[in-house]
Amino acid sequence: MDQVTLISGNGNLDLSRRIAENLGLGLCDVDLGRFSDGEIRVSINENIRGKDVFIIQPTLPPADNLMELLILIDACHRASANRITAVIPYYGYARQDRKDKPRVPISAKLVANLIETAGAHRVLALELHAAQIQGFFDIQVDNLFAGPVFAEYISGKSFRNFTVVSPDVGGIKMGRAFAKRFDANLAIVDKRRTAADSSDVMNVIGEVEDCDIVILDDIISTAGTITKAAKALKEAGAGRIIAMATHPVFSGEALERLEKSVIEEIVVSNSIPFEDGKRCSKVTVLDVAPLLGKAIRRIHTEESISKLFE
Ligand code: R5P
C-alpha cells in the first residue's frame, strides 16, 4: 500500500478520514483554497509521481464539489500520477440518465465525460442511481452496493412477516437482492412522477398487511417518494416501517417530512455528510468507509471486488 496516495476534496472530509483510517494511511497534503473571486485553487504538496492515486469526493451540490474533483484529477494527471481513481461515494447529476422526453439533457453522461476528460483512469462509485451509468464511461467503473452494510444493521432486529418494499419500479432489482438475503417477501409501490420533485403513489403491488417493512431506495431527496410510499403501506395494513437509503440528499423539507411520517427509523449511509440530527431524530447513519476502504485496497492489489458482496 506504500504506492497508494489518498486525496480528499471538501465534499465529505469525515468519510475520507475514515477511509484513510481503515486503510492505515494518511490523507495527502493538499491545499484546496479559493481565489478571491471564488474559483477553486488546488496545490498538491507531496510528490505523487508514479503513485496509485485515489481521489475521494462525492459530487453532491453545490457543483463546486464536482469542479473540485475535476481540478484535483487534472492536478494529479499533471503531477505524473501512475493511475488516478475517482472515488465517488455519491454520484450527483445522476437522475437525468436518459432522454425520456424531448429537450432534456443526459447529465449523468455529461458528468462521466467531464471526469474522463479531466484524466481519471478508473471510477469507484457507491450505489449509482442506475447501473447503466457504468456504460457512460469508457474507463473501468466499480459500482459498490450498500446492501451488505444495511443487511448487517438490520440482522439484529426482529421482524414479523418481513417484507422488503421498493418504492418504485426502478428499485426492484435492489429490493429483490436485499429480500433474498433474508428470505423475505418483496412488494412494490407503483409511483408516478407528477413533476421533477414530486410523485404520487398509484398502487401497492404485493402482500403487506400485517407485515413489518423495510423500504429500500438509493436516494432520499425531498423524501416525497419514501414518505408517500410509507403512508400507502400503512393504509394497506403494514406493521413497523423502516426506511433504508444509501444517499441522504435530504433537500427542502425532507427532514421535517420524515420526522412527521409513519416511518419509525430512517437508515442511511455516510456517503453524504449528515449533520442535521436536530431536525429529524429518526435518522441512523451507517459508515461505508470500511467498504470503500476494502474496495480501494482490492483495486490496488488487483483482487476481485465482487468477492466483497458474496
Ligand atoms: C428515484 O428514481 C429514486 O430512486 C428516488 O426514489 C428518488 O430520487 C427520491 O426522491 P425524493 O426523495 O425527492 O422523492
Q: Provide the 3-class DSSP secondary structure of residue 233.
A: helix
Instruction: Answer whether 16's CB lies under 8 Å from 25's CB.
Output: no
**Does one domain contain both 84 and 155?**
no
Q: What's the pLDDT at 40? A: 97
- Containing structural domain, residue 208: 147-286
Please report where in the chains the cell 504538496 appears, as a residue: 45
Instruction: Let me know if 191 is a catalytic residue.
Output: yes
**Does one domain contain both 135 and 153?**
no
Q: Provide the 3-class DSSP secondary structure of residue 282.
A: coil
The grid coordinates of residue 30 equal 493538499
**Does one domain contain both 177 and 123?**
no
Report the nearest-CA residue for atom 2 of ligand 1: 170
Q: Which of 60, 129, 190, 225 has the most ligand 1 atoms within 8 A of CB, as the residue to mutate? A: 225
**Does one domain contain both 98 and 169?**
no
**Does one domain contain both 90 and 162?**
no
57 ligand 1 Cβ < 6 A: no
What DSSP character marks residue 250?
-
The grid coordinates of residue 275 equal 449533520
In total, how many domains does the chain have? 2
First to last CA, the chain: 24
What DSSP character marks residue 101?
S
Instruction: Answer whether 260's CB lies under 8 Å from 236's CB.
Output: no
**Does one domain contain both 228 and 206?**
yes
CA distance 278 to 281: 6
**Does one domain contain both 270 and 294?**
no
Tell how far the Cα of 124 is from the centroid of ligand 1, in angstroms.
Answer: 22
**Does one domain contain both 129 and 228?**
no
What φ, ψ does residue 207 adopt, rounded to 5°?
A: -85, 120
CA distance 56 to 85: 9
Each residue's pLDDT expressed in tens, for the chain with a length of 310 residues: 899 999 999 999 999 999 999 999 999 999 999 999 999 999 999 999 999 999 999 999 999 999 999 999 999 999 999 999 999 999 999 999 999 899 999 999 999 999 999 999 999 999 999 999 999 999 999 999 999 999 999 998 999 999 999 998 888 999 999 999 999 999 999 878 777 777 777 789 999 999 999 999 999 999 999 999 999 999 999 999 999 999 999 999 999 999 999 999 999 999 999 987 778 899 999 999 999 999 999 999 999 999 998 8
Q: What's the pLDDT at 90? A: 98
Run of H or E residues at 245 = strand 241-248
**Does one domain contain both 55 and 66?**
yes
229 ligand 1 Cβ < 6 A: no
CA distance 220 to 268: 9
The grid coordinates of residue 233 equal 403501506
In order, the DSSP letters of 163-221 are: EEEESSGGGHHHHHHHHHHHT-EEEEEEEEEEETTEEEEEEEES--TT--EEEEEEEES
User: Which CATH number do you get for residue 116?
Assistant: 3.40.50.2020
Tell how far the Cα of 183 is from the centroid of ligand 1, in angstroms.
Answer: 26
Q: What's the pLDDT at 282? A: 95
Angle at 158 between CA 152 and CA 162, to 5 degrees: 90
What secondary structure, in 3-state letters, does 259-281 show?
HHCCCCEEEEECCCCCCCCCCCC
Annotated active-site residue in 51, 191, 228, 294: 191
Kindly report the pTM of this predicted structure.
Answer: 0.95
CA distance 244 to 150: 7
Instruction: Answer whether 178's CB lies under 8 Å from 147's CB.
Output: yes
**Does one domain contain both 161 and 272?**
yes
In order, the DSSP letters of 6-62 are: EEE-STTHHHHHHHHHHHT-PBP-EEEEE-TTS-EEEEE-S--TT-EEEEE---PSS
Q: What's the pLDDT at 276? A: 77
The grid coordinates of residue 171 equal 428499485
Quick one: CA dihedral 61, 64, 66, 72, positive or negative? Answer: negative
In order of 20, 123, 267, 272, 281, the CA distances from 285 in angstroms are: 19, 24, 6, 10, 11
**Does one domain contain both 60 and 37?**
yes
Q: What's the pLDDT at 267? A: 98
